[in-house]
């Protein structure tokens, strides 16, 4: 066993763009953030863009990725990762700018930034982790909390009559972004597909076409108070019933 460990056979492969000294990471066991960031890391490795990448993370559990990658990284004010990465990209268009945030950061406090970056077709890549709640602050209702879902601030379940319906971010971005945008929704329940979406999003920025936006359905077992089986069922069944997984916009075509 010791020999196998030393030969690296039992060690999970780590993307080479990850900052090894900061692993193991700080997310809770069963959290989807690490799965999304691993898929992103593999996509960056395969495209060979580590040396051009700048990475921005938000307030919320996404901030635990501030030292995740061995690239220049910035952690921004809540909801402001999109304009910060936009500024860097505009100042230096050769950079590959990646903005990483939660659903609270992207769809609540930062919604105006996401909307307007999409309207302006900023040449950046935005990756949003949708875990149906405000994870870092203890599990309050987020714009993406499902109807009937119990959270700290919806103890009887979210009532859309009172709170409105959950935000469908990719649908919103796809509706307002001009030609050249790439928009998709992936899920940690299908890592291969999600990684493919992330890779296409980065390629779209490399080609200079327009904004790329990928929402990733994710897990927060700590606040959902779910065991492993319940967590997976919620991601695979409950979330995907409401949030349809797939590509919504390809750079070549603007529908409607
Ligand atoms: C301006 C501001 N408002 C509120 C907060 C408190 N706050 C910190 S994290 C957070 C929620 C984060 O939720 P989300 O963006 O969904 O990310 P997650 O933790 O679920 O990954 C909030 C409201 C803050 N830090 N700054
Ligand atoms: S609180 Fe939720 S989102 Fe935050 S690290 Fe833990 S499981 Fe992940």
Indicate the pTM of the whole model.
Answer: 0.95
Tokens 């870092």 sit on residue: 136
Q: With a 6 A CB cut-off, is 33 part of the ligand 2 pocket?
A: yes
Task: Locate the ligand 2 atom nearest the alpha carbon of residue 33 and give its number.
Answer: 8
Where do runs of H (alpha helix) occur along the chain?
A: 2-6, 33-47, 81-91, 103-104, 111-120, 160-163, 169-176, 191-206, 221-224, 228-233, 240-242
For ligand 1, the distance from its centroid to the CA atom of residue 177, given in whole angstroms, is 26
Supply the residue whose CA is at minimum distance from atom 1 of ligand 1. Answer: 78
Task: Locate the ligand 1 atom nearest the alpha carbon of residue 223 and give its number.
Answer: 20
pLDDT at position 2 over 90: no
For helices 111-120 and 81-91, the axis angle rounded to 10 degrees is 30
> pLDDT above 70 covers what percent of the chain?
94
Q: What pLDDT is attached to residue 256?
A: 46
* Residue 65 near residue 33 (C-beta atoms within 8 A): yes
In the 8-state DSSP scheme, what is residue 32? S
Ligand 1, from 35, 57, 80, 104: best to mutate by most atoms within 8 Å of Cβ? 104
Across the strands, what pairs with 134? 140
**Class of domain 17-249 (CATH, top level):** alpha beta
Supply the residue whose CA is at minimum distance from atom 5 of ligand 2. Answer: 27
């Amino acid at each position: 066993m010791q020999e196998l460990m030393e030969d690296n056979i039992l060690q999970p492969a780590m993307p080479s763009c990850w900052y090894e000294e900061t692993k193991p990471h700080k997310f809770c066991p069963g959290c989807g953030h690490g799965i999304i960031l691993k898929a992103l890391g593999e996509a960056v490795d395969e495209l060979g863009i580590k040396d051009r990448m700048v990475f921005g993370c938000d307030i919320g559990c996404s901030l635990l990725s501030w030292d995740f990658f061995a690239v220049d990284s910035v952690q921004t004010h809540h909801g402001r990762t999109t304009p910060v990465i936009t500024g860097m990209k505009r100042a230096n268009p050769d950079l590959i700018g990646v903005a990483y945030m939660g659903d609270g950061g992207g769809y609540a406090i930062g919604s105006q930034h996401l909307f307007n970056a999409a309207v302006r077709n900023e040449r950046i890549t935005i990756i949003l982790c949708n875990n149906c709640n405000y994870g870092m602050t203890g599990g309050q209702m987020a714009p993406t909390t499902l109807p009937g879902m119990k959270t700290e601030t919806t103890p009887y379940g979210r009532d859309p009559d009172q709170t409105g319906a959950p935000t469908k971010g990719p649908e919103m971005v796809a509706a307002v972004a001009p030609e050249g945008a790439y928009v998709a929704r992936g899920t940690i329940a299908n890592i291969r597909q999600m990684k493919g979406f992330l890779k296409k999003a980065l390629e779209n920025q490399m080609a200079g076409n327009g904004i790329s936006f990928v929402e990733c359905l994710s897990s927060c077992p700590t606040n959902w108070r779910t065991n492993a089986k319940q967590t997976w069922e919620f991601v695979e069944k409950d979330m995907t019933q409401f949030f349809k997984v797939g590509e919504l916009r390809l750079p070549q075509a603007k529908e409607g």
